[in-house]
Amino acid sequence: MSQQETGGKLQIWLTVLCAVFLLAGIVSEHLFLWPNEVSVTFYILSYLTGGYSGFVETIKHLRQFQLNIDFLMIFAALGAAVIDQWIEGATLLFLFSLSGALETYALGKSRNAIHSLLKLRPSEGLLKMEDGSEKLVPIEELEVGQVVIVKPGEHIPIDGKIVKGQTSVNEATITGESMPVSKGIGESVFAATLNENGVIEIEVTRRASDTTVAKIIQLVEEAQKSKAQTQRFLDTFEPRYALAVVVSVILLIFIPWGVFGQDFDPTFYRAMTVLVVASPCALIISTPASIISAIANGAKNGVLFKGGAYVEHAVDIDTIAFDKTGTLTKGEPEVTDLISFDRDNEKFSEDGSEVLEMLAIAAGCEYHSEHHLAHAIVKKAEELHVDLTRVDDMQSTPGQGVEGKLNGHHVSVGNSQMFNKQLEKWNPMISEKADFLREQGKTVVFVVQDEIALGVIALADKVREDAKIVVSKLQSLGIKQIVMLTGDNKGVAKSVAAELNISHVYAELLPEKKVDIIKKLREKGVVAMVGDGVNDAPALAVSDIGIAMGAAGTDVALETADIVLMGDDLTKLPYLLWLSRKAKKVVWQNIAFSLSVILFLLVCVFTIELPLTIGVIGHEGSTLLVVLNGLRLLKKGK
């Protein structure tokens, strides 16, 4: 049990004892069961139990030569005792202690919301031994390289990669995305996610203490300790305000009593009431109650704020710069066009046996290549159930393509640079078709046999299905400028930007150039940079707010970015903005309400002689309402 949980339970028990002693004192005093000294003893015990936590906090602050809210409450209760108002003083400490216990419980609920993830992670894993037998072992004993067996319906105990089997995994605990993800051999899985179907064997890639879910919880804990700017201001404001209240109360006692000769008891009583109602408990708790809830909400839904300051700062974003590859696009090239030519290069076709024959030759040439374009061509052949042609004597020319032998014929697959050397003159129709495809932002690969062009294959990094919707939604949310940054050529960049309705495009950029552009954008507004957290680390670091997406398990993203979107899901970005704006709205609701209650109660003290008990109820009630209002942010919104 944590020290915070232990302190919370102690405060609850002390509050209960305070109530018991208070009731015992009231019964003893009004039913005359015991002498008056006995009832006073009960009140003193109520003071000691109800004021313990506040007294401890007061001593801590006094050692730093500071006054705080707890000092004001203790001072007011002692003042009530001085004028023999034991019941009201004890009631004040009971309600103050009760309010503190409820605040601790409520904020603990917010802080512990993310800790529920740990409950989903099994404490043991089914280890596959070297002799093939199986053994349940604590996850803390699992070592990198060992193999764990996970059955259908079980939560995955450790981070790893699948070495046998395939399944669907619900990764909502990590990414916030409720739709299951298909997983096969070689793909990564994370601790605390749910294996929905299929027996899988996982090779451990991280120890239990280093898993993604463990890092998320660690980052959330650190984020909840990191204070928002408003909270830092209120923390600085609290001791100064408390000192001002104490000075005002002293003046309210001595001026009416010492200067104008008013009776001491009612003057002192009124001053103690002012001391209670002017205390800024609700005001001070207004920000952390909201910010901590927002951080927990985000973490449960795949948005990881690395500090309260970023929850607040995200509200001011007016410019968002996107990396293109892997952020706005899928990051993997796909075959978009298959075009075959006749032997005379006079006609072309986009379907039929000639197209499949051309694809079979291309895939056969590219089968053993490690190039990402080669993988896309082979994948397309597999999707169309095309049998790959066997090509011998394969040779690769870096930056150009591959070539080999097919039944005595010379075949080659590559870019125009390769074929400019082979063919003295391109048929105009082929050149025009290639240029047309390039204008659409596509990469063109030629397929040639014995110096005759069989066809072309066009590939492109496709735009994410939801990217256009997200860009449109960001514009509707008031983002003034959306910028795309990419290292790709201008043709590809303009094509993607046009599809997404992005008007500001910067292409052919090296990482340092991205940094320069971010710096220029910051001169005109508050800039968020959205990237994959690896290649974009410098730009993420220099922006006002760095947002890394698709970062589940990516250490660089977790360390570099200010906000991390754990899932590979762009729709989390509008949710991030909505959550930060909602949090700020709730914070200012709480601040406005807190100040209004203080002013209202102060007016009542001087106009209708507000009783101390009613002042206590109003003061502590407003504190509780502020906490409950902040807890509304734990609910998932839009």
Tokens 């090239």, residue located:
333
The CA-CA-CA angle for residues 363, 368, 370, to 5°, reads 100
The 10s digit of each residue's pLDDT in 549-570 is 876 556 666 677 889 888 778 8
CATH superfamily of 330-462: Calcium-transporting ATPase, cytoplasmic domain N (3.40.1110.10)
Whether residue 8 contacts residue 108, with contact meaning beta carbons closer than 8 Å, is answered with yes
d(C-alpha 216, C-alpha 223), whole Å:
10
- Which of 328, 336, 333 is CA-nearest to residue 502? 328
Q: Is a pLDDT exceeding 70 seen at residue 396?
A: yes
The 10s digit of each residue's pLDDT in 202-246 is 999 999 888 877 777 777 667 656 666 777 777 788 888 888 989
Tokens 């009231």, residue located:
26
pLDDT of residue 594: 93
- Beta pairing class for 481-485 and 504-506: parallel
Task: Answer yes or no: same fold for 122-210 and 311-329+464-570.
Answer: no
Q: Is a pLDDT exceeding 60 seen at residue 425?
A: no
Whether residue 463 contacts residue 499, with contact meaning beta carbons closer than 8 Å, is answered with yes
Instruction: Kindly give, in sequence order, each residue whose CB lies less than 8 Å from that of residue 600, ignoring residues fewer than 6 positions away.
Output: 618
Q: Is a pLDDT exceeding 80 seen at residue 476?
A: yes
**H or E element, residue 444:** strand 443-449
Backbone angles phi, psi at 283, to 5 degrees: -65, -45
Alpha-carbon distance values, 465 to 133, 135, 474 (Å):
45, 44, 16
Q: Which strands, in side-by-side order, build the sheet including 443-449? A: 348-349, 329-341, 452-463, 443-449, 409-414, 401-406, 392-397
pLDDT tier for residue 638 given thresholds of 50, 70 and 90: low
Q: Name the more confident of 57 and 582.
A: 582
Q: Is 323 among the residues known to form the active site? A: yes
pLDDT of residue 612: 84
- Beta pairing class for 545-549 and 392-397: unpaired
Q: Is a pLDDT exceeding 90 seen at residue 367?
A: no
Q: Is a pLDDT exceeding 80 seen at residue 533?
A: no
Whether residue 50 contacts residue 94, with contact meaning beta carbons closer than 8 Å, is answered with yes
Catalytic residue among 210, 235, 263, 323: 323
Instruction: Kindly give, in sequence order, each residue whose CB lies less than 8 Å from that of residue 130, ignoring residues fewer than 6 positions away.
Output: none
pLDDT tier for residue 290 given thresholds of 50, 70 and 90: confident
Specify which of 147-156, 172-181, 502-511 reaches the highest per-range mean pLDDT.
Answer: 147-156
The 10s digit of each residue's pLDDT in 294-324 is 888 888 888 888 888 899 999 999 999 998 8
Q: Name the more confident of 176 and 9.
A: 9
pLDDT of residue 113: 56
Range 131-160 average pLDDT: 91
pLDDT of residue 252: 93
Q: Which strands, in side-by-side order, build the sheet including 167-170? A: 181-183, 167-170, 194-197
Give me the long-range contacts of 13-16 (CB less than 8 A, separation at least 24): 14/49, 14/50, 14/52, 14/53, 14/97, 15/49, 15/50, 15/94, 15/97, 15/98, 15/100, 15/101
pLDDT of residue 228: 65
What DSSP line would sit under 568-596, residue for residue? S-TTHHHHHHHHHHHHHHHHHHHHHHHHH
pLDDT of residue 401: 82
HEC per residue, 128-188: ECCCCCEEEEEHHHCCCCCEEEECCCCECCCCEEEEECCEEEECHHHHCCCCCEEECCCCE
HEC per residue, 308-373: HHHHHHHHHCCEEEEEHHHHHEEEEEEEEEEEEECCCCCCEECCCHHHHHHHHHHHHHHCCCCCHH
d(C-alpha 24, C-alpha 162), whole Å:
65
Q: Name the more confident of 327 and 216.
A: 327
Mean pLDDT of the chain: 84
- Which of 291, 278, 279 is CA-nearest to residue 231? 291
Instruction: Kindly give, in sequence order, each residue whose CB lies less than 8 Å from that of residue 15, ignoring residues fewer than 6 positions away.
Output: 49, 50, 94, 97, 98, 100, 101
Give strand pairing partners of 201.
Answer: 149, 164
Sort 449 into a burial class: Cβ within 10 Å, 0-12 / 13-18 / 19+: middle
Q: Is a pLDDT exceeding 70 seen at residue 111?
A: no
pLDDT of residue 554: 62
Range 87-109 average pLDDT: 77
Radius of gyration (C-alpha) of the chain in whole angstroms: 34
Region for 352 from its dihedrals, namely left if φ exceeds 0, alpha if ψ lies in -120 to 50, beta otherwise = left
Q: Which of the residue ranges 2-11, 279-288, 349-358, 422-431 would you say has the lowest mean pLDDT? A: 2-11
Range 178-192 average pLDDT: 83
Give domain limits for the chain.
Answer: 3-113+220-293+581-634, 122-210, 311-329+464-570, 330-462
Q: Is the dihedral of CA 183, 184, 188, 194 positive or negative?
A: positive
Backbone angles phi, psi at 258, to 5 degrees: -80, -35
pLDDT of residue 281: 83
What DSSP line would sit under 368-420, residue for residue? T---HHHHHHHHHHHHTTPPPPP-EEEEEETTTEEEEEETTEEEEEE-HHHHH
- Which of 164, 257, 158 is CA-nearest to residue 209? 158
d(C-alpha 566, C-alpha 562), whole Å:
12
Range 438-454 average pLDDT: 83
Q: Residue 628 has which token pair?
A: 């409950």
Q: Is a pLDDT exceeding 50 seen at residue 1?
A: no
HEC per residue, 547-569: EEECCCCCHHHHHHCCEEECCCC
d(C-alpha 358, C-alpha 455), whole Å:
7
Tokens 């048929």, residue located:
427
What is Dmax (Cα atoms) for the chain? 120
Architecture of the structural domain at 122-210: Distorted Sandwich (2.70)
- Which of 541, 563, 542 is CA-nearest to residue 551? 563
Q: Residue 583 has which token pair?
A: 């949090």
Q: Is a pLDDT exceeding 80 seen at residue 108?
A: no
* CATH annotation of 311-329+464-570: 3.40.50.1000
- Which of 224, 236, 234, 245 is CA-nearest to residue 72? 245
pLDDT of residue 547: 92
